[in-house]
Chains A and B, each alone.
Chain A
Amino acid sequence: GENVEQHPSTLSVQEGDSAVIKCTYSDSASNYFPWYKQELGKRPQLIIDIRSNVGEKKDQRIAVTLNKTAKHFSLHITETQPEDSAVYFCAAFGGSYIPTFGRGTSLIVHP
């Protein structure tokens, strides 16, 4: 089955800095890679996603890159704000019906 590794587990930045979270996956059949944000006590919610036929996608301050050859994808957040503080999860959908999640990154943005 799919295995998703996510790093770092904790990321602390100053407001205005950039944050980068990296994930690797194992199943070459995976073709859909969403990123979720989970605020304290809330449900995970999609913030951006990318499909395997695209190398990069951007939505305002958030961007995701995908390297299919190396089987890794990354989330980039620019000009971080305190409200970006949350746990972020990457996930990979492979040749099955199962989205496999990384272990999460706790992002802390200091004002």
Chain B
Amino acid sequence: DTAVSQTPKYLVTQMGNDKSIKCEQNLGHDTMYWYKQDSKKFLKIMFSYNNKELIINETVPNRFSPKSPDKAHLNLHINSLELGDSAVYFCASSQGGTGANTEAFFGQGTRLTVV
């Protein structure tokens, strides 16, 4: 069984379109994340959810909106896509919390290409 799965793996779309990436984890973790990895490989945190509540939203344009219907899912919606949004997006989860931090498990990544 895949621990953290995200779909689709590849996404090619035109500028201005709206798209979604789905993420699900079957590890029973409380915390889920979205990271953006640019061409220089930097893993930049975008969002973090703990028990369906937003914990952090870094300086991300409001075109990006996370949706967490339950603890096991954290989807990412992107409106009005721009060329600069092209990157690999990773979903991850962990059993987080002060004093109980554990390994973050990553999904396989979604390579988004905006043309």
Contacts and interface: CB of A to CB of B under 8 A. Distances in A.
A32 B48 CA distance: 17
Contact of A32 (B31, B55, B101): B101
A89 B43 contact: yes
Contacts of B108: 42-43
* Residue from B33, B40, B43 with most neighbouring chain A CB atoms (10 Å): B43
Given A46-B103, A104-B41, A99 B90 contact: no
Nearest to B49: A97
Contact of A99 (B55, B98, B104): B104
Interface string B42-54: 1101001010000
Contacts of B106: 43-45
Contact of B56 (A89, A98, A101): A98
A103 B40 CA distance: 9
B96 A97 contact: yes
Interface residues of A, number: 25
Given A98-B48, A103-B42, A93 B96 contact: yes
Given A44-B90, A45-B106, A98 B55 contact: yes
Contact of B42 (A45, A95, A97, A104): A104
Contact of A34 (B31, B41, B50, B104): B104
Interface residues on chain B, size class: 20 to 34
A106 B42 CA distance: 11
A44 B56 CA distance: 21
A35 to B, nearest CB: 10
Interface string A53-95: 0000000000000000000000000000000000101010101
Contacts of A18: none
Interface of A: 29, 31-32, 34, 38, 42-46, 49, 87, 89, 91, 93, 95-101, 103-104, 106
Interface of B: 31, 33, 35, 40-43, 45, 48, 50, 55-56, 90, 94, 96-99, 101-104, 106-109
14 contacts: A29-B98, A44-B43, A46-B104, A49-B103, A91-B104, A96-B55, A96-B56, A96-B98, A97-B94, A98-B45, A98-B96, A100-B45, A103-B40, A104-B41
